[in-house]
Amino acid sequence: MTAHRFRVPSGAAPPGLVRTGRHCGVNRGAAWAEVRSDTGVRVRRGLLARRSARARRVRLRFVRGLAAHAVALVRASHPEPTVVVTAVAVGLALSTGRDGAGVVAVAVAVLSGQLSVGWLNDFLDADRDRLAGRRDKPVVTRAVSRRALALATLAAAVVCVPASLASGPVAGVVHLLAVASAWGYNLGVKSTPLSVLPYALSFGLLPTFVVLGLPGAPAPPWWLPAVGALLGAGAHFTNVLPDLAADAVTGVRGLPHRIGAAGSRVAAAALLLTASLVLAVAASVEPFVAVVVPVLATAVLVTGFLLGRRGGSRAPFRAVLAVALLDLALLLTAGHTIVG
């Protein structure tokens, strides 16, 4: 039967529909166009969503990698002595009357100098540490590259120079000599019988730098650099104790290696206790504090050395850091008398 077409009055049917006899049909061209349009929108939205998710994953991996790299750099900086030495310098600056700007200058100078020394050490010792199997070193586990350590060392050194000179030309030169002495240790003195000298010199110059940065650049009392040198020398003998076997494999033969573990323990204890006694006797502190601090220092050292009899233990070195903080407490009580 043949269908008869008739005209649909305007507005009688929705757009896209025509009547054919008794049936209503869809304008197939318009419908397919609409389907294709909707499909295209959904495809584009899916692509955008996938691209956005991929970009988020890339950003997350980048942030995680950056954080891991930063943590590795911190670990390679020898963070424990870096923090303690900086804290001692800042505490001394506060107790001797440095103003806010002066305290900040000391903090930045000492922190950047310590960072440069730590990073330089791990950069130079990378091959030796790999040979010794030092998995505690980020450069050995490839958590950080030697190139990154070199760049970090250079950056810290660049910061250290103006930060040191901000305390005045004399004080600045003294601190830069202290940092140069520590660099000299890393660059080869550590393998000679004179290995203790850079430690004694650098730690003796550190409090001198802080005091010389005061108005008028006053000279520190004799006992202040002497205590610093004794602490530094004692720290050297203690610091190498866990590494004696590894250093023997890699050919490092400093003074502690030559006198052995037992001799190094005796030397470290004698130097550190002498530092506490000199500080207690020479500095103007309360008698009770002058007695208690050396007693506590002795107890801490004995405990640290007993715990450090296990191979590779860092307990003796941490005991030295604790004694340094005890001596800092003494300095804080006597700081106002260091300069007249």
Nearest-10 crossing angle of helices 315-338, 255-282: 30
Is 168 part of a structural domain of the chain? Answer: yes
Q: Report the pLDDT value the prediction gives residue 38, as an integer from 0 to 100.
A: 67
Q: How many domains does the chain have?
A: 1
Q: What's residue 327's pLDDT? A: 77
Nearest to 125 by CA among 58, 82, 183, 187: 187
CATH number of the domain that residue 187 is part of: 1.10.357.140
Residue 332 resides in a domain: yes
Is residue 36 in some structural domain? no
Domain span including residue 171: 77-338
Residue 143 within any structural domain of the chain: yes
Look at residue 171 and tell me if it is in a domain. Answer: yes
pLDDT at 133: 82
CB 283 within 8 A of CB 330: yes
Residue 94 lies in a domain: yes
CA of residue 256 relative to chain centroid, distance: 26
- Residue 134 pLDDT: 83
- Position 12 scores a pLDDT of 47
| pTM of the model as a whole | 0.78
Residue 33: per-residue pLDDT: 61
The residue to which tokens 């950069």 are assigned: 123
| Structure-token pair, residue 338 | 């260091």
Q: Which helix (DSSP H) or strand (DSSP E) does residue 20 occupy? A: strand 17-20
Ramachandran angles phi, psi of 154, nearest 5°:
-65, -45
301 vs 296: CA distance, rounded Å: 9
Assess if residue 70 is contained within a domain: no
- Contact indicator for 273, 297 with CB cutoff of 8 Å: yes
How far CA 291 is from CA of 153, 276, 295, 297, in Å, comes to 41, 10, 7, 10
Q: For residues 18 and 7, what is the distance between their CA atoms, to the nearest angstrom? A: 9
Question: Residue 335 has what pLDDT?
Answer: 66
pLDDT tens string for the chain (340 positions)? 444 444 545 444 444 444 444 444 456 666 556 656 666 667 777 777 777 778 788 888 878 878 888 999 999 999 988 998 999 899 899 988 899 999 999 999 999 999 999 999 999 999 888 887 888 899 999 999 999 999 999 999 999 999 999 999 999 999 999 999 999 999 999 999 999 999 999 999 999 999 999 999 899 999 999 999 998 998 899 888 777 777 877 788 899 989 988 888 888 888 988 988 888 888 777 777 778 888 888 898 888 888 877 766 778 878 877 887 787 777 777 766 677 6
